[in-house]
Amino acid sequence: MKLGNFRTLKSIAICAALVTAGILATYHASEAADDTDSKESEMVATIVTFHVKPGEEEFVEKQMAWFASECIKEEPGTLVYSLIKDEKGLRTMEIYENAAASRAHGQTAHHAENVKALSGKVLSIDLDRFEVVNHPTR
């Protein structure tokens, strides 16, 4: 899979313009479906950074912890869905078996429920996609 600079910049530019978590659901599905420069069978990794409305950090962290558990439990193609935090804020580290699993993730009922719960609490997000060059399961 070759994710060139244009692809990464496109993802960053589009995601930086998002102002609510509700827009993320629409973008996630369309962005994954437009993954024309990857091979369908290769692993896909994503890191999402959440820019949370001040005062909503605890709620968003708890909501995302629930969501991460649902992703692992309900999505067979989701190999990793972890929450991490640094000076930039709350992030997810996601690894999917392939592009189809990444697309399916954005179309689940728990994804829709999560987007609804985060609406108005997340100011914007940054989404970066990566090529998985090595994973212990392969």
Partners of 124 in the β-ladder: 51
Q: What is the pLDDT of residue 11?
A: 39
Three-class DSSP category at 41: coil
Residues 66-108 pLDDT 10s: 999 999 999 999 999 999 999 989 999 999 999 999 999 999 9
Write the CB contacts of 132 (distance below 8 Å, at least 6 apart in sequence): 1, 42, 43, 44, 45, 95
Residue 16 three-state SS: helix
Task: Compute the distance between CA of residue 45 and CA of residue 64 in angstroms, rounded to an integer.
Answer: 18
Tell me the one-letter amino acid at 103.
R
Greatest mean pLDDT range, 2-6, 7-11, 85-89, 119-123? 119-123
- Identify any residues that bridge with 82 across adjacent strands, giving them in sequence order: 93
The C-alpha atoms of residue 67 and residue 60 are separated, in whole angstroms, by 10
> Taking the domains of the chain in order of start, what are their residue ranges?
5-131
What CATH architecture is 5-131? Answer: 2-Layer Sandwich (3.30)
